[in-house]
Structure 1
Amino acid sequence: MSQQAILSANKPQTSESTIYKILFIIGLCHLLNDAIQAVVPAMFPILAKSMGLSFTQLGIIAFSLNMVSSVMQPMVGFFTDKKPMPYALPVGLSFTLVGILVLGFASSFGMIVLSVLFIGLGSAVFHPEGSRVAYMAAGKRRGLAQSIYQVGGNTGQALAPVITALILVPLGQIGASWFTIIAALAVILLIYIANWYNQRLITSPNLSKKKKVGVEKKIGLSKEVKNTLALILLLIFARTWYTSGITNFYTFYAIKEYALSIKESQVFLFAFLVSGAIGTFFGGPLADRFGKKNIISFSMLATVPFSILIPYVPPTIAFIFLILSGFILMTSFSVTVVYAQELVPGKIGTMSGLTVGLAFGMGAIGSVGLGYIADWIGLQSMITWLGVLPLLGLIAFLLPSDHKVWEWNQIK
């Protein structure tokens, strides 16, 4: 009787209660990690001016940063699904620390590429295990938990314009080295998270056992699940190419078309990214209430009118449209992660690595492709055609409903 009471008391802590303290700390670490990553695209105007880099070369830098993360994230997630690695979190941020330090003092294009490879590697290690921590601390509120975790990352990315205006413009490239302090803070916080994570594995060994069983049991995915994953990845492709185009190249467009300074152009980008971070936060709770498929469909298609009109309106209206498109489009960011995790239960790290990692990868390919297109047909034409990408959101209507996904899991 006493043992049963103990088990009942422990159950809400391990499987039902939402542990907000852990969620907020891992969200803060996500913010710090992605703020460091945001330094790279934030430096593009500085590097283009000081080193005479072309749009294609800037795209290669972004490709180097994001592709490493894209390729490695699903691999890290797959491996840690079998063998959770709590202390991979601070180790990953240590790679990022080295990368940002080298970036601040890099004197050639090759050194810049090498430095962002380290930053990308650190991100690849951090994201799958960070998402797993959010999942473990979520209790029953998975959408909210994933939103808290993801909004940290998107807020970090939104800091890029502020980083440019306040640090990189006055200090130049060497200003990037100051972010080693942020990396060190993140490492300290992640040591705390890793200790909590490790303790959870010790006190609840069934957590790791379930993951192992789940991976082995779900290795053979059904045709329906594979098709649905393909649709999700296509939607991520459309969303990420659009955000990559705005993030990496819209400041150049605003400087040219509206005769803005570098600092002034960063305000437009900051508005887009901050509204996207806010949209990311609201996406999870909205999906918990209205359904994941509905929010994914809405986020893509409701963005279309604004994304198409942005190149044709005056700067004030463009600023407003950037805010609206950023908010609406990014409501689906955390939702696609949770949708994939529930589509293939037992592979939390793998699905997180695939969806978030693929977002980095698609952004990498998009950066090179869009940079080449901008050099080929002109920046204005590239930005104009960019606005059509959210139309691929029509694919979302082909996704199975949340209830259908639940039924598939019950059959299995």
Structure 2
Amino acid sequence: MNRSVADRPDAGAPAFPVLGAISFCHFLNDMMQSLLPAVYPLLKGGFDLDFGQIGLLTLTYQITASLLQPLVGLYTDRRPQPYSLVVGMCSTLFGMLALAFAPSYAALLAAAMLMGIGSSIFHPESSRIARIASGGAHGLAQSLFQVGGNFGASLGPLLAAFFILPRGQSSLAWFALVALGGVGVVTALGHWFRNNGHARPRSSVAPHGNIGLSAKQRRRALAVLVALMFSKFVYLASLGNYYVFYLMSRFDTPPQEAQVYLFVFLATSAGGTVIGGAVGDRLGRKRVIWGSILGVLPFTLALPYVGLPATVGLGAVIGFMLSSAFPAILVYAQELTPNRIGAVSGLFFGFAFGMSGVGAAALGELADWTSIEFVFRACSVLPLIGLLAVFLPAETQRTAHRHSDGMMEHSNSK
């Protein structure tokens, strides 16, 4: 079913300056957050860590973010906080400084917690701003917002390879200046949010009734989306956290070269994010979810058994396809719960962080018990969970809500 802008004649155009600003902030935030896993080889040698300790470091960061995000979103749904993003960016700033000068493993864990708190505030609040500024093109707006984060995350390995590794752990302190620049931009976004009337307390009553679905149907749909998120992010945890070690172990790839290959994977993931949201607006989010998660299965099954060039190529394809699912999943969930945009955004971003953390910790222990190659073979079947997408409701049941929701949010963003 085609859902072009023509299907939303009264929704208006997206506020691209606001979307550009929030995407840029997402770029800065996730670039800094990505430095933590990117410097794992440096920390592993400097602090004599095993894979289990690396997994626990990721778990600390991800769980801190995942547990707080839904709570932040739920609170700000009722009591909007125009400058909450400033608090989140400052927490990331302090976490970066703590990571740069950490003298012990315990200090590394504390730095990871500060960075997790920063993400827990940033993601639900910035996703809310992206939706407000969407003009009804929710998939496009989420894609533009998320591509900034994905592209920022993709730079982590390159920055680690060519700036941090040659200079050492303390060079991470320079990125506190990046966070300081981000504070200035999110402060301006807070002014926009407040001055355009979005800081008023909101009613807890749903604005659009049950949007054509019963409470049971909505709960089932949300449960399916959560299962699909599990499949996507646990698999991505294996690549995001252990791809460098896999390449080094299986192909004797030098660390700096392996970081470049990780950048290729992350950069193509950013491209998939752009495509997923825009295509979901036009062809339907359920189709994107089907194609991106279940459709990637042949490539994940093949990856553990091919040579280095094919591994890099398949990793790029897998990153592109899997990343295209998240904008579609998030907007689908927001449309199921229109009066809980912050809470559902926090829940899904938080679940993504939590699953990545739990997955990283579990996969790290599994790698210590077996091998990093075994981990990649075991994870290759996870996209089979994409079969559950058959239980998602047809999107025609939600079309009327999406149109009216788009008109309301565009009028509010003027």
CA contact (8 A) 2:208 2:338 kept: no
CA contact (8 A) 2:208 2:401 kept: no
Greater shift in the superposed pair: 279-288 or 193-202: 193-202
Give the structure 2 partner of residue 251 of structure 1: 244
1:370 maps to which of 355, 363, 368:
363
Distance 1:283 1:216, change over 3 A: closer
Give the structure 2 partner of residue 213 of structure 1: 205
Distance 1:182 1:409, change over 3 A: closer
Give the structure 2 partner of residue 146 of structure 1: 142
Greater shift in the superposed pair: 191-200 or 395-404: 395-404
Aligned residues: 393
Instruction: After TM superposition, give the deviation of residue 221 of structure 1 in Å.
Output: 7.3
Greater shift in the superposed pair: 401-410 or 101-110: 401-410
In the alignment, the residues of structure 1 paired with residue 59 and residue 220 of structure 2 have an alpha-carbon distance, to the nearest angstrom, of 27
Secondary structure of 1:201's partner? coil
User: AA paired with 1:213?
Assistant: V
Give the structure 1 partner of residue 335 of structure 2: 342
Secondary structure of 1:268's partner? helix
2:64 maps to which of 65, 68, 85:
68
1:34-93 CA-partner distances (Å, limit 9, x unpaired): 111101000111111111101110001101111111000000000101011110111111
CA contact (8 A) 1:300 1:390 kept: yes
Secondary structure of 1:275's partner? helix
Instruction: After TM superposition, give the deviation of residue 217 of structure 1 in Å.
Output: 7.2
Give the structure 2 partner of residue 159 of structure 1: 155
User: AA paired with 2:196?
Assistant: R
Instruction: After TM superposition, give the deviation of residue 272 of structure 1 in Å.
Output: 1.0
Instruction: After TM superposition, give the deviation of residue 212 of structure 1 in Å.
Output: 3.6
Q: Is 1:290 aligned to residue 283 of structure 2?
A: yes
2:269 maps to which of 254, 272, 276:
276
Q: How does 1:98-113 map to 2 (within 5 A)?
A: 98-113=94-109
1:267-322 CA-partner distances (Å, limit 9, x unpaired): 22111111111000111110011100010010011211111111111101111111
Instruction: After TM superposition, give the deviation of residue 405 of structure 1 in Å.
Output: 3.6
Instruction: After TM superposition, give the deviation of residue 167 of structure 1 in Å.
Output: 1.6
1:26 maps to which of 22, 30, 42:
22
CA contact (8 A) 1:250 1:383 kept: no
In the alignment, the residues of structure 1 paired with residue 333 and residue 232 of structure 2 have an alpha-carbon distance, to the nearest angstrom, of 16
Which structure is richer in relative contact order (CA contacts within 8 A, separation 6 or more)? 2
2:227 maps to which of 223, 234, 254:
234
Identity of aligned residues (%): 36
Distance 1:294 1:51, change over 3 A: same
CA contact (8 A) 1:81 1:215 kept: no
Q: Is 1:329 aligned to residue 309 of structure 2?
A: no
User: AA paired with 1:313?
Assistant: V
In the alignment, the residues of structure 1 paired with residue 161 and residue 302 of structure 2 have an alpha-carbon distance, to the nearest angstrom, of 27
Give the structure 1 partner of residue 377 of structure 2: 384
Question: TM-score if structure 1 supplies the norm length?
Answer: 0.92
Q: Is 1:171 aligned to residue 136 of structure 2?
A: no
Q: Is 1:127 aligned to residue 123 of structure 2?
A: yes
1:261 maps to which of 235, 254, 257:
254
Give the 4+ runs in structure 1 shifted more than 2 A.
14-17, 211-218, 404-410
Secondary structure of 1:284's partner? helix
1:304 maps to which of 292, 297, 310:
297
In the alignment, the residues of structure 1 paired with residue 171 and residue 376 of structure 2 have an alpha-carbon distance, to the nearest angstrom, of 30
2:112 maps to which of 107, 111, 116:
116
CA contact (8 A) 1:244 1:363 kept: yes
In the alignment, the residues of structure 2 paired with residue 173 and residue 391 of structure 1 have an alpha-carbon distance, to the nearest angstrom, of 40
Runs of 5+ in structure 2 lacking a partner?
Answer: 1-7, 404-414
In the alignment, the residues of structure 2 paired with residue 181 and residue 289 of structure 1 have an alpha-carbon distance, to the nearest angstrom, of 40
Instruction: After TM superposition, give the deviation of residue 190 of structure 1 in Å.
Output: 0.3
1:174-212 CA-partner distances (Å, limit 9, x unpaired): 12111101100111100000000011127x95xx53x54
In the alignment, the residues of structure 1 paired with residue 25 and residue 392 of structure 2 have an alpha-carbon distance, to the nearest angstrom, of 32
Secondary structure of 1:214's partner? coil
Say what the alpha-carbon RMSD is for the aligned residues: 2.0
User: AA paired with 2:87?
Assistant: V
Secondary structure of 1:346's partner? coil
Give the structure 2 partner of residue 4 of structure 1: none
In the alignment, the residues of structure 1 paired with residue 119 and residue 83 of structure 2 have an alpha-carbon distance, to the nearest angstrom, of 14
Distance 1:409 1:273, change over 3 A: closer
CA contact (8 A) 1:39 1:160 kept: yes
1:133-180 CA-partner distances (Å, limit 9, x unpaired): 101110021110010001111111111211211122101211211110
Runs of 5+ in structure 1 lacking a partner?
Answer: 1-11
In the alignment, the residues of structure 2 paired with residue 201 and residue 41 of structure 1 have an alpha-carbon distance, to the nearest angstrom, of 39
Secondary structure of 1:339's partner? helix
Secondary structure of 1:86's partner? coil
User: AA paired with 1:258?
Assistant: F
CA contact (8 A) 1:82 1:215 kept: no
Distance 1:76 1:364, change over 3 A: same
Instruction: After TM superposition, give the deviation of residue 215 of structure 1 in Å.
Output: 8.2
The structure with the greater share of residues assigned to helix is 1
In the alignment, the residues of structure 2 paired with residue 276 and residue 216 of structure 1 have an alpha-carbon distance, to the nearest angstrom, of 34
Instruction: After TM superposition, give the deviation of residue 262 of structure 1 in Å.
Output: 0.7
CA contact (8 A) 1:87 1:191 kept: yes
Distance 1:337 1:23, change over 3 A: same
Secondary structure of 1:30's partner? helix
Instruction: After TM superposition, give the deviation of residue 16 of structure 1 in Å.
Output: 2.8
Question: TM-score if structure 2 supplies the norm length?
Answer: 0.91
